Amino acid sequence: MDETFYIVALPKRKFCYIKTQDEKEKKIGYRVIVELENDKSCGIIIGETKKIKEWELSKKYEIPDQFPLIPQNMIELSKKIAEKYFCDLFDVLKIISPPQYLELEVKIKKEKKRKSKGKYNEEEKKSDEESNDRKETELNNQEKEKKEGEETENPISKVLKKSEKNFLDLLEKNRKITLKRAKKLLKIKRIVELENLGLIKITFSKKQKSKEEVEKALKKIKEKKEKEEEKEKKEEKEEENQTYHQQKERVKLSEEQQKALDEILNGEGMFLVHGVTGSGKTEIYLRAIEKEIQNGGAIYLLPEISLTTFLIKRIKEYFPDAVVLHSALPQKEREINWWAIRYGIAKVVVGARSAIFARFEKTKIIIIDEEHDPPYKQSPESSNLPVFYDARFVAELRSKIEGSKVVFGSATPSINTYMRAKKGEIKLIKLTKRVPGMKFPKTQIIDLKKSGYDDFFSFPISPQLREEIEKRIARKENSILLFTRRGWALYVICVACSTRFTCKNCSSSLVYHKNEGLICHWCGKTYPVPEKCEKCGSEELEIVGFGTERIEEEIKNVFKVPVFRLDSDNVKSEKKAMEILQKFEKTSPAILVGTQMVAKGFDFPSVTLVGVILADTEFMLPDFKADERAFTILNQVCGRAGRKIKNESENSISQKSEDISIIQTFMPEHNIIKYAVSQNYEKFFEEEIEKREEFELPPFSEIACIRFSGKDEKKCHMISEMIASKIKEKGIKCDPPTKSIRYLVSGKFNLKMLVYLKDENDAKKLREVIKKSQFFLHGVKITLDIDPESVL
């Protein structure tokens, strides 16, 4: 009978094998430390095989855990993700696991060190004494071969080089260091030899947590948060918290809502809830989860961390034990939440993109709220992670493996998702009305051409918008203003020679910030504001345009009310975003100014006016998804107004409390603006899908964007053309390599190339080309992004 071996996934696209033992339980998903070619690596057992290559067999390995780190269903999911996105399986496994659980560290293994820490028990002492006795015997035998009478020193110390003694001294001082750092100090072969001598121990950085440890830690976290909430309540006035008090009382579902809920509960597979803003989609999701979690777990995904934190209070009214998973959480809390899911202590997890990997062994339902939002896709620009996955696609893969339901929800579904719903691949559920008592805001388009460019650039708030803001201030209501450019001014120009000041490391104009000076929004480098032009010496310099920083300052001066700004300059953390949003919610009258962040799914009943300062900036970008993004942003931000549920008496005086959305534009006749204002998604979809089909763009093909980056401009062009040639030889359609819109960033040149994949056969051929081409070739880095959200 043939022997069976375990397959072990290792870092850097490697695999090895270890012999299986006569064990009752299979070790799939277990962590393992393997020794191969005088090197030690952490791996995950991912399957079994009977055929191996002898040199890939690890004869020395260690499986220290009592249960798998990653369950079978998640191993299967990881394999499919690696195949889809052409990435390393081990990198996917690292995303699924908490930080440091797939890392190794080196610990000192000396009696005197352990004694000093009080952690050296009799069994350890006896084991180390026996090990040291054996090693000393071996070394003493070697010493006997030397001339008699030769003066000798400590036998173990004798064979150590100075660098190794220094290494051990460092460990004595620090107790432990990562294996990665250790390899920089000493060759890995010698590190392994030191372990064989019994001087050090290579082990996992993190031990698996017991259920008791997790329950204890969760209790501490809960108590800490309760104290913080109690403190907040004392500082708040009772009326300032009325939003959350209203939400505690369960509302009666409308006829449309109840029908949608019934369809989800009685159906299977995937659903798209296409509901207008304010139609009560969240209430449907929560009630669907309530029914489904009786036999498994539930995942509630939101595109933004700030949205996650904002909604968690409402979710915890339904599910007190729900936990949060996202990258902005403190590492310890995130880790404990991960284990709470693993032990079934928590059945509901709420989070951003990465929460799709919550470690449920069986997921019953996955909610993807605001499914149109680009942050669901991990892009090369947004992170250093090497796996550019789409949480929406991962949810679909997971549902097929675990038999769970997936509910996509949006007022403006992505073109791809809506097309699949039209074809019947996803069950389409429509909500056409807002919840009872909540009315759509009126909309008004302001043609900026009538007042002229000069008036707009001197003060970007039109007389009509200004008048409406003043009405809200008089009634102590709130307003939101959207503008998609940050900074104080767009650029600085020399009046004499028309030279724009640009970044020395990038092909980007520098943006003027009042307090920081000139900043490159591509690489982040900061420059002082020049006194004269470097090219002609003229001192006539002009600051041109405006951004959210300048708008914030000017409307503060004009309206004399609290103004809050929400953009990536002002918000450096999730905590800061929450502070701004909570202050805005509790202040009336007030104005919130920001970029796309203010267009997210926030629910502020106090907001009765939304103003889009300039609607033209988004759909003028040279990207195939530009129109889709522009329509979505306009539609979503307009939906932030009119969120208060009013009773009959309040509705009877609608003239006094009118909700309105105002869009300022130089192109009022543009179809995108017309469709967004009229909330006509169907008409927008019909027009957009025709263009996509004509140019074979998604959903009529799958796009892969290959990016080339390097300091040598000629090599970048040469390598990109070589790869393009190989792809064409395979019969796959691809565009010629072109300059990225961010051509020069931080001293590196950037090219892009779009590849059109008709089917899985094309994808396999592309994999072959990429596999044969190294990811770092002659100083040119190649990045492959499947289904990109942007090809700029």
Per-residue pLDDT tens for 446-488?
A: 998 887 777 777 788 999 999 999 999 999 999 999 998 888 8
pLDDT range class, residue 140, cuts 50, 70, 90 = low
pTM of the model: 0.86
Cα(32)–Cα(8) distance, integer angstroms: 8
**Residue bearing the bigger pLDDT, 644 or 152:** 644
Beta bridge partners of 665: 447
Instruction: Give residue 252's pLDDT.
Output: 86
* Pick from 525, 605, 591: nearest CA to 558: 591
Instruction: Average the pLDDT over each of 58-67, 158-167, 606-615 and give the range with the smallest value.
Output: 158-167
Confidence of residue 646 (pLDDT cuts 50, 70, 90): low
Res 145: pLDDT? 46
Please report the pLDDT score of residue 245 as a whole number.
38
Judge whether 408 and 369 are in contact, CB under 8 Å.
no
Structure tokens at 618: 């988004």
Mean pLDDT confidence for 208-213: 92
Higher-confidence residue: 298 or 332?
Answer: 298
Number of C-beta neighbours around residue 75 at 10 A: 21
Most confident range (mean pLDDT) of 287-291, 437-441, 516-520, 673-677 is 287-291
Segment 148-162 mean pLDDT: 57
Mean per-residue pLDDT for 639-658?
57
In the DSSP assignment, the letter for residue 222 is: H
Q: Tell me if 370 sits within 8 A of 292, measured CB to CB.
A: no
Q: Kindly provide the residue ranges of all beta strands, DSSP E only, lying in 122-225, ordered along the sequence.
A: 176-178, 200-204
Q: What is the Cα–Cα distance from 404 to 356, expressed in whole angstroms?
A: 13
Instruction: Tokens 């009943």: give the residue.
Output: 605
Residues 6+ apart with CB under 8 A from 358: 297, 299, 325, 338, 341, 349, 351
What pLDDT does 430 receive?
95
Place of tokens 């017309």: 674
Segment 627-648 shows an average pLDDT of 77
Q: What is the mean pLDDT of the chain?
A: 85
Establish how many alpha carbons lie within 13 A of residue 757's alpha carbon, considering only the half-sphere containing its beta carbon: 20
On the question of pLDDT at 196 being above 60, the answer is yes
Give CA separation, 126 vs 12, 129, 140, in Å: 39, 5, 21
Q: Is omega for the bond preceding 460 within 30 degrees of 0, making it cis?
A: no
Average pLDDT over residues 402-407: 96
**What is the model's pLDDT at position 643?**
60
pLDDT, one tens digit per residue, over 329-342 is: 888 888 999 999 99
Q: What is the pLDDT averaged over residues 314-320?
A: 88
The pLDDT assigned to 59 comes to 87
List pLDDT tens digits, range 713-734: 999 999 999 999 999 999 999 9
- Of 366, 322, 302, 329, which is closest to residue 603 (Cα–Cα)? 302
Task: Please state, in angstroms and rounded to a whole number, the distance separating the CA atoms of residues 133 and 114.
Answer: 18
